[in-house]
Amino acid sequence: MSRATIFDVATRAGVSIKTVSRVVNNEPNVRETTKERVRKAIRELNYRPDRSARNLASHRSHLITLIYDDPSAYEIPSAGYVIRMQQGALRACRDNDCELLIHPCRYQDKALGAELKTLIEKVRPDGIVLAAPLSNMPNIVRAIGATGTPFVRVSSGRKKNGKHYSVSMNDRECSAEMTRYLASLGHKRIAFLTGHPKHDAVKNRFLGYQDGLQESGVSFSGDLVEAGDNSIRSGEACAEKLLSRKRRPTAIFAANDDMAAGVIRVADRLGIKVPDELSVAGCDDIALAQQVYPALTTIRQPLAAMAERAALALIEHSRGGSDLGGEDVFAASMQIRESTGPAPA
Amino acid sequence: MSRATIFDVATRAGVSIKTVSRVVNNEPNVRETTKERVRKAIRELNYRPDRSARNLASHRSHLITLIYDDPSAYEIPSAGYVIRMQQGALRACRDNDCELLIHPCRYQDKALGAELKTLIEKVRPDGIVLAAPLSNMPNIVRAIGATGTPFVRVSSGRKKNGKHYSVSMNDRECSAEMTRYLASLGHKRIAFLTGHPKHDAVKNRFLGYQDGLQESGVSFSGDLVEAGDNSIRSGEACAEKLLSRKRRPTAIFAANDDMAAGVIRVADRLGIKVPDELSVAGCDDIALAQQVYPALTTIRQPLAAMAERAALALIEHSRGGSDLGGEDVFAASMQIRESTGPAPA
DNA sequence: ATAATAATTGACAGCGCTGGCAGAGTTGTA
DNA sequence: TACAACTCTGCCAGCGCTGTCAATTATTAT
């Protein structure tokens, strides 16, 4: 026996297929008793609307696409970043009768704009969630915008761009908070490791660091800033420079967790006790943060919640709801663990 | 101007829509000159077939669903496992005009069978890739089988089950190889850390360890086996027991990388040099394996390739191709890094 | 050359659902 | 009581494509 169609349900409930459609889609103006009769028939026949037919007739795909830079392409550990985004976006989709399509890609790819354009034309999703760092790349944003498909940018760094709705994080404020926290522990020489210059979020963190110093009455010194590139290795390199000085810093705040892990590793090699002689803080709260010893004090991004909000906005928009505009800012939260402590006397 | 339909293409090429359909779907029996004319029209109109219409008419969804246990549910680091599976499955889909739907879930969930059944009835994918450990759970396999949707089990441990096609790994052989490798370095006291008893793959590794010992002429001793549960903590606990003995092992082979990382951490604390005084080997080659110091010798699973094969088989099957049956076994590969070396004199 | 066969093309009926609109039934109001 | 203003329901025309099958044309065998 083949699967039940809307016609079977209508027949069994003694109504027209249109009425069944109304019940299935929660449209108004159906008498409660009728509704109940239809629901009963649906249950009895185990009826499930056919997605293709529904999509064809309604001109909606019920598909949201999550586009992100593929971490496995570089064997970097931030797979967790992706998983958490997926989790949030999926939550929104599952709650709203949509499906999520994922599209990992490589931000360095010269032809990425064209690739995404083709993808979008093929799939025709109702909306697109564009994750950082792609969300901060003007050519990508432009390519997607050109397709006319609604999209939401999710980025850790805020960026003034009134044209598109975006979901972002208070990166700068949070870095300032972390800096103030370190200062409140008595640290005076707080170093900062900047990250990859192409990565916007990381710039905001540096600004936040400067804010925090100022707010704490600690003067900024360029000597205490080393430039990394987000990798563990670069964190090690920076740490070696900083920790081999006569007056070394008592705290190091890295723009991401990988570099912070590198700092911890170097401190260990040099016999510098963390946190007794050196406090180390990171940013991102990747899985590694809890795997290093001592566990890393860091900043946790509400990635899942951000992606969920983004997907939700798109779904509502596709239902003919609200316009997509403005910006939603999520608050990151400090995760104080074992790698930070009072400044040494 | 709205998007071009098959009708527009047909008109422009001066053929019937059916012929356009033939060209688009690579059906045989279309004259080359006609084909070229149609292709030209397609290019000029930037025509893309409508997925919904096509799916509706062809009774295929062009959707493959990847079902897996959600790592982010436990904050465990093996997000990389999922990412690699996704990558492989996506490759197959992208190459074959299909899309991938992901469905993370929790294997402990009592109602998981029902959840999956609902999902499948709603989405009606052309096929399902079922990842370990779900692929080894009889009730899940049964629930999915009951829907009638073709599925492929992907598991690291082999399992005799003639009924369904499955893609698996030579876990046991590979563990034996690793054990022989350690023995060949002169190690006589090679300890093994078993993993979570519910995790099938891990059992095979223990068997492989025993095989390897035997093949190397090293006698097995229950004293050298400690029971962990796959976590870093349990690896630490096991290592503490093993390394505090009067005659401690000179090599420790852990059933997964997390536990191996725990061993390295303990060795470090106890001042035991790795690999000079102790060789450590793991299994899985998660990102952490390269982040610990020294980098971990381990076994790399061809996860992406396995998932790709699985998805490919499903796609071919959905095209009316081959039956799904039997088993494909993939070979894992040893990754020899810095954590293993000659046995101390 | 002619019949038989194969290759190529087209006509058309759906696939299962939603949107628009009209008709029927109800309630409210003067 | 009559009429307007709702609320509820059904009819039907697609949505854009594929499957089936018949028609037409090219090729090969006799």
Residue of A nearest to B268 (CA): A268
Looking at residue B273, its pLDDT comes to: 94
pLDDT given for residue A269 in this prediction: 84
Residues 6+ apart with CB under 8 A from B256: B195, B202, B230, B282, B283, B284
Residue of A258, A269, A249 lying closest to A340 (CA atoms): A249
Across chain A, which distance is largest between two alpha carbons, in Å? 88
- Name which residue leads in pLDDT, A111 or B1: A111
pLDDT reported for residue A1: 57
Q: For A171-300, which CATH superfamily applies? A: Response regulator (3.40.50.2300)
* Residue B298 backbone phi and psi in degrees, to 5: -155, -175
Average pLDDT score over residue span B23-35: 91
Fold classification of B6-49 is 434 Repressor (Amino-terminal Domain) (1.10.260)
**Nearest nt (C1') from B10 Cα:** C10
Instruction: Say how far apart CA A35 and CA B214 lie, in whole Å.
Output: 70
Mean pLDDT of B8-21: 94
Which tokens belong to A317?
């928009």
Asked whether A194 and A179 are in contact (CB, 8 A), the reply is no
Cβ-defined contact of A80 to B79 (cutoff 8 Å): yes
* CA angle centred on B176, ends B171 and B178, rounded to 5°: 95
Report if CB A231 to strand D is under 7 Å.
no
- Give the C-alpha separation, B148 to B247, whole Å: 57
* pLDDT class of B7 with cuts at 50, 70, 90: very high
Where exactly are the structural domains of chain B? 6-49, 63-169+303-330, 171-300
Please give the pLDDT value at position A201: 72
B55 touches chain A (CB under 8 A): yes
pLDDT digits (tens, 9 = 90+) for B202-232: 788 999 999 999 999 999 999 999 999 888 8
DSSP string, A251-308: EEEESSHHHHHHHHHHHHHTT--TTTT-EEE-SB--THHHHSSSPPBEEE--HHHHHH
Identify the sign of the CA torsion B94, B142, A44, A100. negative
In a 13 Å sphere around the CA of B204, the CA atoms on its Cβ side amount to 19
Cα(A51)–Cα(B120) distance, rounded to whole angstroms?
Answer: 12
Q: How far is the CA of B54 from the C1' of C15 (A)?
A: 9
Closest CA to A297 of A254, A266, A331: A254
Q: What class does CATH assign to A63-170+303-332? A: alpha beta
> Residue B282: pLDDT above 80?
yes
Secondary structure class of A280 (helix, strand, coil): strand
Query: Residue B172, Cβ neighbours under 10 Å: how many?
Result: 21
Q: Buried b vs exposed e over B229-253: b needs ≥16 C-beta within 10 Å?
A: bbbbebbbbbbeebbeeeebbbbbb
DSSP A212-254: HHHHTTPPP-GGGEEE--SSHHHHHHHHHHHHTSSS--SEEEE
Nearest to B72 among A75, A80, A102 (CB): A80
CB A130 within 8 A of CB A153: yes
Round the CA-based radius of gyration of chain A to a whole number and report it. Answer: 25
User: What tokens appear for B40 in the block?
Assistant: 């030209």
* Residue B162: pLDDT over 70: no
Fold of B63-169+303-330: Rossmann fold (3.40.50)
> Which positions 166-225 on chain B have a beta carbon less than 7 angstroms from any atom of strand D?
none
Q: Which residue has the higher pLDDT, B196 or A153?
A: A153
In the numeric block, the tokens 């590969």 are attached to B333
Q: Is the pLDDT of residue B74 over 70?
A: no
User: C-alpha B139: how far from its chain's center?
Assistant: 20
pLDDT at A321: 67
Q: Count Cβ atoms within 10 A of the Cβ of residue A311 and give its class: 0-12 exposed, 13-18 middle, 19 or more buried.
A: buried
**Kind of pairing between the strands at A333-335 and A298-300:** antiparallel
Query: What is the rounded distance in angstroms from the CA atom of residue A48 to the CA atom of residue A37?
Result: 16
Pairwise CA distance, residues B201 & A142, whole Å: 46
Contacts of A124 in chain B (CB under 8 A): 48, 50-51
Distance CA A180, CA A188 (A): 11
pLDDT in tens, chain A (345 residues): 578 999 999 999 999 999 999 999 998 888 999 999 999 999 999 999 999 999 999 999 999 999 999 866 655 556 678 888 999 999 999 999 899 999 999 988 999 999 999 999 999 999 999 998 899 889 999 999 999 999 999 987 666 555 778 999 888 999 999 999 999 999 999 999 998 877 777 788 999 999 999 999 999 999 999 999 888 889 999 999 999 999 999 999 999 998 999 999 899 889 999 999 999 999 988 877 887 889 999 999 899 999 999 999 999 998 876 777 788 899 999 999 999 999 998
What is the structure's pLDDT at B326? 81
**Which bases of strand D have any atom within 7 Å of the beta carbon of a protein residue?**
7-12, 14-20
Radius of gyration of chain B from Cα atoms?
25
DSSP class of residue B230 equals: S
For residue A281, give the 3-state DSSP assignment.
Answer: strand
- Judge whether residue B53 contacts strand D, using its CB and a 7 Å cut-off: yes
For chain C, which bases have at least one atom within 7 A of a protein Cβ? 7-12, 14-20
**A178 touches A334 (CB < 8 A):** yes
| C-alpha span between A278 and A187 (Å, rounded) | 10
Contact A212, A183 (CB under 8 A): yes
Q: How far is it, in rounded angstroms, from Cα B23 to Cα B26?
A: 5
Question: Does the C-beta of A17 come within 7 A of strand D?
Answer: yes
User: How far apart are alpha carbons A266 and A287 in whole angstroms?
Assistant: 20
B74/A contact by beta carbon, under 8 A: no
Pairing label, strands A190-194, A225-227: parallel
Q: Which residue is it, tokens 């991938």?
A: B100
CB A271 within 8 A of CB A210: no
Residue B71's SS3 state is helix
Task: Say which DSSP state A74 is in.
Answer: T
Cα–Cα distance between B235 and B306 in angstroms, integer?
28
Task: Say whether A171-300 and A63-170+303-332 share the same fold.
Answer: yes
